């Protein structure tokens, strides 16, 4: 009997050895508790289940009596071309397993099975299936004009962001995502990958500051056995793991200059030389970089290579701060309220008018991430069904020991420089948009009208991710 817990990802085990099948099901029911494990004792039985069930991953023996694994694999991929299939094989049939990979299997494992390693492989396979499923949903939503994935907002800045993400996804150019901490740069990188033609290939997110400086180069580019003390085997590196797909280098402004030099070569030559290797190897990877740092200042200080900066900013995408999309705060707050209720298994809750007003008045130095954490705390500590102003606990966001500054914070007055920068950004966006409207998207004519050089105007447009084509009739 099939356990139809459709809300869980489903793993299908296929083998004609009943004892092995029973043992695997018992083990993976414990090792993968959030997965529904189904079994089939033959290829035809597996195809019957696949016709009825939404299967996330298939683990299948290659040698079965009635119908061998290769034949089943071919039939699966005619019906479900993206389904993740892992082949089990004995040591004498490795060639068959390699053939299965060529015919669409995602990976293979050898018997006798090592359960810890197999569990890791199955976990990665389930993650791949989840990512492919999310990509399908994302493409569907984009085609219908809905906002992208977990992005929420209908303000003009967010609408422009959705368009820019779609445009960036349609190209292969290197992309630099800029924005303050907590604005969703990682989410943006995932969306660009999911909407690109590389979406079926790996997406590797690298938190550069989290990797110790002395390990960053070997983790990114890999090494050969014997390259240094402790290198007891080859290590592919994150760039090779991302081959065919996308790698996102988060907080790229914090990487050391020595690694910047090697990264520049990757961008110029699309090849990597691993530590201890005699020759370079070609790779096919799209690079996305993100940062909240002022890279121009770092260049002036000698902490960031200017040539690398210009290689990275072929396309630039700027994430708006929560201050800039203040009108979206009620939408975001309710979105995070629903998520927090699911995370905490909480009863129905809603915001009072006073709570929403308090959210709208707050400065939000931590941007969207801060807002989400505030909502999580409110759901956790609010005992009733209505979240009121006192449940929000956001006064502590203002770390201002000076009494005058504290008073300014309570009056919702932000620091002068920040207020000035926000006003300047708002003015520049409005001015350039009006200018391009009047010139019907003609950049040369807009430059003449504004008494700017064409190059200066284009630099401003790149900084604010303004596309002149959208103003053409």
For 138, other C-beta atoms within 10 Å of its C-beta total 20
Binned at pLDDT 50, 70 and 90, residue 91 comes out as low
Q: Are strands 281-282 and 271-272 parallel, antiparallel or unpaired?
A: antiparallel
Domain 326-410 in the same topology as domain 152-318: no
Specify the range with the lowest mean pLDDT, choosing from 128-137, 151-160, 354-363, 386-395: 128-137
pLDDT at 84 over 80: yes
The residue among 419 and 118 whose pLDDT is bigger is 118
pLDDT at 143 over 70: no
pLDDT of the residue at 396: 40
Residues 6+ apart with CB under 8 A from 68: 43, 62
Binned at pLDDT 50, 70 and 90, residue 58 comes out as very high
Stretch 320-331: mean pLDDT, rounded? Answer: 89
Task: Give residue limits of the domains in the chain.
Answer: 10-134, 152-318, 326-410, 416-471
CA–CA separation, 373 vs 250, rounded Å? 21
Q: Which CATH number is correct for 152-318, 1.10.10.10, 3.40.50.261, 3.40.50.300, 3.90.1150.10?
A: 3.40.50.300
Residues 6+ apart with CB under 8 A from 324: 157, 422, 425, 426
Binned at pLDDT 50, 70 and 90, residue 93 comes out as low
Stretch 216-243: mean pLDDT, rounded? Answer: 85
Binned at pLDDT 50, 70 and 90, residue 319 comes out as very high
Backbone angles phi, psi at 71, to 5 degrees: -65, -45
pLDDT of the residue at 173: 92
CA–CA separation, 455 vs 54, rounded Å? 54
Its CATH class, for the domain covering 326-410, is mainly alpha
Binned at pLDDT 50, 70 and 90, residue 312 comes out as very high
Whole-structure pTM value: 0.56
* Average pLDDT value for the chain: 83
Its CATH class, for the domain covering 10-134, is alpha beta
Beta bridge partners of 13: 39, 59
pLDDT at 299 over 80: yes
**Residues listed for the chain:** 473
């Amino acid at each position: 009997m099939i356990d139809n817990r459709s809300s869980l990802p489903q793993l299908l085990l296929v083998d004609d050895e009943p004892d092995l099948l029973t043992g695997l099901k018992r083990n993976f029911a414990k090792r993968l508790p959030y997965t529904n494990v189904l079994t089939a004792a033959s290829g035809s039985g597996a195809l019957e289940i696949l016709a009825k069930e939404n299967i996330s991953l298939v683990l299948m023996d290659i040698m079965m009596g009635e119908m061998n694994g290769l034949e089943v694999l071919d039939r699966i991929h005619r019906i479900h071309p993206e389904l993740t299939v892992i082949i089990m094989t004995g040591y004498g049939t490795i060639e068959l397993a390699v053939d299965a990979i060529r015919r669409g299997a995602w990976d293979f494992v050898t018997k006798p099975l090592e359960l810890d390693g197999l569990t890791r492989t199955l976990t990665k396979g389930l993650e791949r299936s989840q990512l492919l499923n999310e990509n399908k949903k994302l493409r569907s939503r984009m085609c219908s004009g809905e906002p992208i994935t977990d992005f929420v907002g209908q303000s003009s800045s967010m609408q422009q962001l959705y368009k820019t993400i779609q445009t960036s996804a349609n190209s292969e150019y290197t992309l630099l995502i800029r924005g303050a901490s907590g604005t969703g740069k990682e989410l943006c990188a995932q969306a660009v990958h999911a909407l690109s033609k590389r979406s079926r290939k790996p997406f590797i997110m690298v938190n550069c500051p989290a990797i110790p400086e002395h390990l960053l180069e070997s983790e990114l580019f890999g090494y050969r056995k014997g390259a240094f003390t402790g290198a007891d085997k080859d290590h592919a590196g994150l760039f090779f793991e991302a081959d065919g797909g996308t790698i996102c280098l988060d907080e790229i402004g914090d990487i050391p200059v020595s690694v910047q030099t090697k990264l520049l070569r990757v961008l110029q030559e699309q090849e990597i030389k691993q530590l201890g290797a005699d020759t370079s190897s070609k790779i096919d990877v799209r690079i996305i970089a993100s940062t909240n740092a002022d890279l121009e200042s770092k260049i002036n200080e000698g902490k960031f290579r200017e040539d690398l900066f210009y290689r990275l900013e072929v396309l630039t995408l700027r994430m708006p701060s929560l201050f800039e999309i203040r009108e979206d705060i009620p939408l975001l707050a309710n979105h995070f309220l629903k998520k927090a209720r699911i995370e905490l298994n909480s009863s129905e809750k809603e915001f009072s008018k006073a709570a929403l007003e308090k959210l709208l008045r707050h400065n939000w130095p931590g941007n969207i991430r801060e807002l989400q954490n505030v909502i999580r705390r409110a759901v956790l500590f609010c005992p009733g069904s209505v979240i009121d102003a006192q449940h929000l606990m956001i006064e502590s966001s203002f770390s201002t020991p000076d009494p005058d500054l504290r008073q300014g914070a309570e009056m919702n007055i932000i620091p002068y420089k920040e207020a000035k920068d926000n006003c300047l950004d708002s003015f520049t966006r409005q001015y350039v948009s009006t200018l391009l409207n009047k010139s019907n998207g003609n950049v040369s004519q807009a430059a003449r009208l504004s008494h700017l050089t064409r190059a200066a105007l284009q630099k401003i447009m790149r900084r604010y991710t303004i596309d002149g084509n959208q103003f053409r009739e």
